[in-house]
Every structure is written in structure tokens, then in C-alpha cells.
Chain A
Amino acid sequence: MKLRLRSLESKQTIKIELPNPSSTLQQLKQTLSQSLSSSSSLYFSLNRKDELHASSPETTLQSLGITSGDLIFFTHNPAAFSSQSQSLVPNSSSSVQQQPPNPKPNPNSPNQNMSEKAEITPSDQETPEHEISDSETDVDMSDSTTANLLQEDDEETLGGEISGSGSGSVPSGAETMELDDGSSVLSRKKYFEHYFLRRVLREELGGGDGSDHKLMVIAIHAVLSESGFVGFDSVSGMRVDGFHLPDVWPSKAFTMSLCYTLPELLGTVNVNGNYNVPESIVLKFQNMGHCINIYGWAKGGSGLHHVCLNENRFVPALESVWVVNGDSNDEIKNQDGFLETEVFEFWKIVKDGIALPLLIDLCEKAGLVPPPCFMRLPTELKLKIFESLPGVDLAKVGCVCSDLRYLSSSNELWKQKFEEEFGNGTGAKRLFNWKEEFQSSWDRKKKRKREGRQRRQGFSHLRMMRNVNPFMLPSVLRGQHDHMPCFVAPSPFRQVERFRVPWNVPRCTFEESDD
């Protein structure tokens, strides 16, 4: 496959052809070293920020997400590509094997496309992992949990919720980091196999029935956190960012309650040394076979909101968020399309059924300013509005706030925009990341327009010259030599026609010279 290698420092681009799509990173390094005739070590990156690293010598370039035609940056400087966090799995997983109680890496792995709110502070990193099992964790943890959820691309969407669940549920330290590795896997087109992750997570979550319930509860907690709620301990009134789920989860019907409130309502310390929380909501989880019922009400309020979720439907999708099977890219794409929709559905149901109504209720009760009226619209209606919006404006909407960013990142929506704008040309060839498709097609279209305009300007300039001196010898004017061998004054009509032709013929050659 053909690759373009560009030096980070000199911007010089070298085209390299590798014989085999399953070449490894090592082979690429060797080939590049040969063409550079240098022997110092090389470091690669796709986005000039995160280093491309192969976990094993046999890792193929394809599995790293590199395809023919890709542009890869290289440098001899080992520190050039220093990611802000352990964003790529191979780096992180290798460190997992070295020392389990590593400082927790930034759960928000900056991605090629987007970086989340990197709210990890140094204090977070120092916190030993086993403290997670305490009810109180760093405030930052919760913030990063929230931030984790506000992720964009479909892959990132999948990565988001699990980081949230990771910090909540897992008592032991090493697991949390592995979870992050799982989520950080999902940078553009990179898929790895995580049997080790899956096994350990299964063990940790207890396997069998218990883990499914835990997963659901954690995911629901994640949606609430994203809506602005914070958990708190009803007894002490202290804020609780992780929660300690019981280790033994009865498989039959069970109930469990959690209290939530808004950050503004976490009151000041009163006489007894406890926090005063004036208003709060209670969430009750009730398990009935395959379904989990969630009842939520504002304390002292009258409204009861209820949602029933089918575990069989959502657990596979939620599970896929942290564990990705890297067998074949195509399979993943198929899966991702469906599973991502399921995760989005889950988010929509919980948000519209529980989170939003409770938020409005709580604000009313507590006398707080309710959320902006637009945000109070159910998700379906917001999406309906976005359906009538052209693609460019949808992209702008994504820059407004984090809630809208998640909403506007829906793959289905972008697929529709793409089809509206560019027709159904590509068919079902690519099943994921319609937003990127839209963006690249848009860029191409703009380029073509720009070039068309330039050409037209160039020609009209010539024509103007010709009009000023209609009887000048043809040789004075550029580009007419071959067509005007005689001294006859050029016919205006012929000239115009000659200039007109290139406009209609799409100039594909221009577009390829984009190095």
C-alpha cells in the first residue's frame, strides 16, 4: 500500500510503497530509514500529537488504522509526539503490565478528532486507586466522569460512558486504568483485542446476572451525572462521586436507592458537622427479571417519573463500550453502527424519562433557575429541529455546548445530512462516521468551487485584455499561439468558446496535487 510520510520538522513528504497491507510498523520504519538513508530511530504519528505505537512486533499497520493513501508524520525526536495522556492503547496496556497501581491516566483520551474536557488534575493522578472504594472520591473524578460522557464521534461515544462506569464501580486500582485503556482504544479506526480486559472486568463485575444490573445502574448514574446531578450520601449529606455497589447482587428482585442533587444545592456545613441538602431527588432501582425499573421523584414533590429498561437490549451495547473485539474492521463498523445507536437510545430514554423531568422538578422545588427552555425539550424534538438544519449548521450547533455536541454527533443524523447534500453516491460502503464523510466531501466541494472561480477569474482576465486590444497580434496574448497562427483578428466568439470548455470538464488532476 502507498503511504505518504511527512517530516514533522521539515514538512518534506516522501511517498513510500509497502508491498503488503499487512506490513508492520517495523517494516515501515525500515523502509523509511532506507529512503532517508539515516539510521536514527523514527517515531510516527497520524495527528502530530499522539504517537503511533505497536504493542507487538506483528501488529499490522492496518490494525493501527492506517490504510493506503494515509499521511503519516515522522520525526527522529522521541519527545515530539508526547500525548497529553495515554491516549493509545498499546502505550497504556504495556504500562499496565508493568505496574498495576499506576497513577490513573486521564480518562479523557485526546483523540485525533476531538479532545474531551481533560479535567484530570495532578491530585487525581496521585490518588491511589483503592481509595475509589471509599464513598468520597475527588471532585475531579466526578467531573471527569461527566466529561467522559460528553464525547463526540461514535467511537468516542462508546468510550465515554464506560469511563464513567469505570470510576464508579471498580474498587481496585488496576481495573480502572484498564478500563480507560479500553475507552482510549476508540480513537479513529484503531481497534485492538482486549481479551485480558474482558476477562478481568467480568471477574470484577462478578459475572452472570449481577454484572448486568451493575452495568445498567452505572450507566444510568452516568446519564444523570451528565445532566448535572451529583450523588450524595443521604445520611451525612456529603457529596459522593463514586458509589459502592454491593458485591453480591441478588439475581432475583432487588431494590436499591440512590440520592442525587444539584451542585448548587449542596449546602454549607451546619451545626452537627453535616451538610444541609435542602432538596434532592431519589432514584429507586428495581430489578424484575430482564427489566430494570427506575423510579425517580423529587423529595417532597408529587411527580413520579418512571422508566423501564430492558437489559437484554441495552447490556450488550453498553458492554461493547468498553470492550472492543478487534477481529476485523468491517465487523466492527457494522457492530458500531448498531451498538452506537443502542447506546444513544439508552441515553435518550433515561435522559427524557428521568433526568430531564427530575431536573426540572428539582429546580422548581428549590427555586433555582430552570435549564434553558430549549434544553428542556425532549431529545426527540431537538433532533427533529436538527433534521431541518443543513449539515454545516449542524456542525456549528455542536460547538455550542457539550450537551448539544453529543446530540449533534449522532451518526444517523449525519448520514441523513450527507445524503441530502451529496446524494447517495457511496452507498453502503462505509458504515460509520458519516460526519467525517460529510466534512471531507464538503471540503472537496469547496475546493472545486474555489478552483473553478480561480480559473474563471484567470480566463476573464485574459478576455479583458483581448477586448482592449482586439486587433493586436495573437502572439502578444498568452496561450493563444497554437490556436492563432494567422494574423487575422481573433474572433471573439471563438475565444469565448475555447475558454468555456474547461469549465464543464471536471478537472480531477487538480485535486490530487494536494501535497
Chain B
Amino acid sequence: MKFCTVKQYFDDENNNNVTNGIATTVIPLPNKHLKIKANNKEMEQYEQELLRNVMPQELTKLILAANYLNFKEALDFFCRTVANAIQNKSVDYVRKFFGLESDFEPGEEEKLCKEFAWSFEGVDED
């Protein structure tokens, strides 16, 4: 039942959503899940290893793949990973992480910072 979309994926030649590399990462996940079902910690370790060297862009593609394949657990996990990665980090770090640029006016940005000064306490160093 987790793989109803996967079958469709293999049938569908012209698929831009999921590249091969991503598929090889995402698809074996459920098997591993089954094997290490009882032992959550091992699963966590496995997942941490998997994602240690993954760039944000890769992560985005993983999310899209998991979404396309309708793979809820993987999707949740990847989204949580992104959230953890930017948790308690500064605004600049978040910008760099996502590869975004600030399109605010300088005055506007200052105002924003002032308004959200309450959220800037206790931020990790980059």
C-alpha cells in the first residue's frame, strides 16, 4: 500500500519528479523500517547517517519525492529534519540554508528585526 505510487512511477517514463538517485534513497526506507521495527534507536541512527551529508537541495528533492510517492513517514521525517536544521539558528543562516535572498528594503528589514527581537534571543552560533 505504500508503494502504489511507486508502481506508477516505474510505469511512467517521463517523470521529472523523482530522479534515480533520490529513488534509491527513498525506496529502501520501508524495508529498513520493517527490519528494525522494534528498535527505534537504530532506525534513528540509520536515518541520521543518511542525512548527515545531504545538502539542502537534496533534502528538497527528497521531500518532493516522498510527497510524490505518497510516502508519509519519509515525508514527515524529511520535513522534521529540515525543521531541526534551521531550529534556533539566525536569520542569515536560514537564508543561506535555503539559498534565498532578502528582498526587503533596508528600512523594512530593520523594522522586522525590531518587531521580532523577542525571537532572536538565545540563537545558536552558525
Taking a contact as CB atoms under 8 Å apart, the answer to whether B116 and A399 are in contact is: yes
Taking a contact as CB atoms under 8 Å apart, the answer to whether A373 and B60 are in contact is: yes
Bound CA–CA A404/B116 (angstroms): 14
Bound CA–CA A116/B98 (angstroms): 23
Bound CA–CA A381/B79 (angstroms): 8
Interface check B27, CB cutoff 8 A: no
User: Which residue of the partner chain A has the closest CB to B104?
Assistant: A402
| B residues near A397, Cβ cutoff 8 Å | 86, 94
| B residues near A118, Cβ cutoff 8 Å | 105, 107-108
Taking a contact as CB atoms under 8 Å apart, the answer to whether B101 and A384 are in contact is: no
Name the distance in Å between B30's Cβ and chain A's nearest Cβ: 20
Name the distance in Å between A407's Cβ and chain B's nearest Cβ: 12
| B residues near A384, Cβ cutoff 8 Å | 75, 79
Interface check B112, CB cutoff 8 A: yes
| A residues near B67, Cβ cutoff 8 Å | 378, 381
Bound CA–CA A494/B80 (angstroms): 49
Bound CA–CA A392/B121 (angstroms): 9
| A residues near B91, Cβ cutoff 8 Å | 396, 399-400
Taking a contact as CB atoms under 8 Å apart, the answer to whether B118 and A443 are in contact is: yes
Contact with B along A323-351 (1 / 0, CB 8 A): 00000000000000000000000000000
Bound CA–CA A396/B121 (angstroms): 11
Partner of A392, one of B94, B107, B111, B119: B119
Instruction: Give the size of the chain A interface in residues (CB under 8 angstroms).
Output: 39
Interface centre among B82, B90, B121 (most CB of A within 10 A): B82
Interface check A395, CB cutoff 8 A: yes
Residues 81-102 of B at the A interface (beta carbon under 8 Å)? 82-84, 86-91, 94-95, 98-102
Residues 109-153 of A at the B interface (beta carbon under 8 Å)? 113-119
Interface centre among A119, A373, A391, A396 (most CB of B within 10 A): A396
| B residues near A373, Cβ cutoff 8 Å | 56-57, 60-61, 98-99
Taking a contact as CB atoms under 8 Å apart, the answer to whether A374 and B90 are in contact is: no
Name the distance in Å between B85's Cβ and chain A's nearest Cβ: 10
Partner of A399, one of B60, B84, B105, B109: B109
| A residues near B116, Cβ cutoff 8 Å | 395-396, 398-399
Bound CA–CA A387/B111 (angstroms): 25
Taking a contact as CB atoms under 8 Å apart, the answer to whether B94 and A402 are in contact is: no
> Which residues of B are in contact with A by a Cβ distance under 8 Å?
56-57, 60-61, 63-64, 67, 75, 79-80, 82-84, 86-91, 94-95, 98-105, 107-109, 111-113, 115-116, 118-121
Q: A381-B67, A405-B112 are in contact. List 18 more A-B contacts (CB 8 A).
A: A114-B111, A372-B99, A373-B57, A374-B56, A374-B98, A377-B64, A381-B63, A386-B83, A387-B79, A389-B83, A393-B86, A395-B118, A396-B91, A396-B94, A398-B112, A400-B98, A400-B102, A402-B103
